[in-house]
Amino acid sequence: MIGLLHWLQMATSVEGTISQVLVTLKSGVRDEAEKSIRDAVIRYGARSSSFVRNLQDGSQLKLLNSSGVPFPRWFAEQFFSGVLSPYLLNVAIVHKVFHLTQIDCFEMPSSYACSLPLRKTLYGLVLAAEEGSDVAVEEFDREGKNMVRRLERPSYEVSRFGRLPKLHKIEELDVLTRRRLFDCIFEFDACALKYPEPLHIMLAVVSYWLQHACSPTNENLLRSLLLNTVLLRLLPQATQSSKKVCGKPRSTSDDPNPIHIQEVLLGVQDQQMTQVVIDETCKNFSKFWSRPTHNHARHFDADLVYSCCQLQTCLMFARSINRVLLRPYSNAQFHRSFNGTFLYNFTKELDTRPKPDLFIAEYLGRGSPLEVAFSGFYKEFRSILPDCCFERRAAPSRKKKKNKRNVSDKHTDEEESEESVVLLTNRFADL
C-alpha cells in the first residue's frame, strides 16, 4: 500500500498513469479496465454544486428534482442548514428510501407499517410538482427477517382538507391553515379537547398511533406516556438532591427553555407546586428511571417495545411533516416529552396493579392539585379514543392462601383420588 501511494504521488498526469496501468494488463481486458478506471476518476473528481458555490461566493442555493425543476428556495435552504432530514432529499431526488430496522417482532409487520399513510402524504407534499407523472417512491423495509422492496404512490389529497398544496404555495398559507392541514393529516380534532399549546402536536401523534397500530395497544402504556410528559416538566424544577435520586434523565438535562408543568396541565397554579411537592413527587417515581433488569422471573417484553417502535416511526414522520409545513407547531420537542426507560418500567409496574389509576393517584398525592389535574387530563384524552385501540387485559390475580386441612380430610382425598385412578384404568382396559 505504501508503494502504491508513493507511485501515485510521483505520477505527473492522469493519462500517463492510466497508460502505465494498461500496459501491465492483457489486451483482452484493457478496454473494460480503462472504462472502470476513468469512471472512478470522474467520481473522485471535484464537482461543482450550488452548495459548494454558496460556500465559496455566497451564491443562491438551488436544489433540482429528478426532472431538473428547482425546489423552492426555502426548501433548499432548510435542507442545507440541517433542518430537513436526508430522508426527504432521498424522496425528492432519487425517489428511494431505506427504513432502518428497529427492535421489531419478526412475526409482526414492520414497525413502519402503521405510519404508511403519513409517509404517503409526506411524499405528496414533497413531490406535488410531479403530480400527473407515473411517480412512486421505492421503500425498502423489513418483512419477516428479510428486506423487501415496495412501490408506494404519493397521496395528493387529505380528508376534510382537500388537495395538498405544492411546495412553493406553502409559504403563502397562514399559520391557522397549515395547522388545520396538519390536524387533518393526523385525523385529529383540535376542538375536541382543551389543552395547552405545547401538547397539541404530541397528542395528535399519539392519537394517530393508537388508531393505526398493527395490533391493540396496552392501555397502561398510554397512562405511562401522559404521566411521563408531566414528570419531565417537573424534574428541571426539582432540587439537585431529587434529580440525583431520579438519575436526572438525559432529556431534561441542561434544557435552556424548559416547559413548566403549568404549560402542560391546566388548573395547576404556581403557588400550588411548592418545592416540597415537586421534590416529593420526583422521589416517588425515582425507581422507574433506572435501567430495567431481566431474569427468569422478569422477562423482556418484546410486545411493549414493538408498540413503542411504532410510536417512534409516527413521531419521526410527524416531525418531517411539521417542518415541511414550515412549523405550524413550533414547540414540537418530542425528545423532551418521552423517556423510554420510564415508559418500559412504569408500564410493567402498572401491569401488576389491579387498579392502575389508583396507583398513579397515590404516587402523585391523592387529592392533590397535581393528581386532580392529571386525572382530568388523562380521562379527557382517553374519552376521544375508541375502545378498540386497546387490548383487553385481565386483572392480575392475587395469590390466595391455602387453608389448613386436617389429616382425616387428607386421607379422604387420597382415597377418592385412588378410586378415580382405578376407574380410569378400568375404562382404558375395556377398549
Q: What average pLDDT does range 221-225 have in this prediction?
A: 95
- Percent of the chain residues past pLDDT 70, beyond the cut: 81
Question: When comparing pLDDT for 221 and 261, which is higher?
Answer: 221
Is residue 167 within 8 Å of 189, Cβ to Cβ? no
Three cell numbers at 185?
393529516
Q: What angle do CA 387, 393, 397 make, to 5 degrees?
A: 145
Task: Report domain extents, the chain.
Answer: 14-44, 63-172, 174-391
DSSP percent split of the chain into helix, strand, coil, nearest 5 = 60, 5, 35
Chain segment 6-29, per-residue pLDDT in tens: 888 888 888 888 888 899 988 889
> Does the structure show a pLDDT above 90 at 251?
no
pTM of the model: 0.76
- As a whole number, mean pLDDT of residues 195-217 equals 89
In percent, how much of the chain has pLDDT > 90? 39
Q: What pLDDT shows up at residue 428?
A: 45
- Maximum CA extent, the chain: 107
Higher-pLDDT residue of 248 and 147 is: 147
Q: Regarding predicted confidence, which is higher, 154 or 424?
A: 154
Enter the C-alpha cell of residue 398.
Answer: 392475587
pLDDT in tens, 297-316: 888 999 999 999 999 999 99
> How would you label 46-63 residue by residue, b for 16+ Cβ within 10 Å and e otherwise?
eeeebeeebeeeeeebeb
Cα→Cα distances 46→16, 41, 42, 76, Å: 20, 10, 8, 21
- Average pLDDT of the chain to the nearest whole number: 82
Lowest-pLDDT range of 68-82, 94-108, 258-272: 258-272
Question: Are the C-beta atoms of residues 350 and 362 closer than 8 Å to each other?
Answer: no
The pLDDT of residue 230 is 86
Cα separation, 196 vs 271, whole angstroms: 19
Distances (CA, A) of 302 to 106, 206, 344, 392: 10, 20, 10, 18
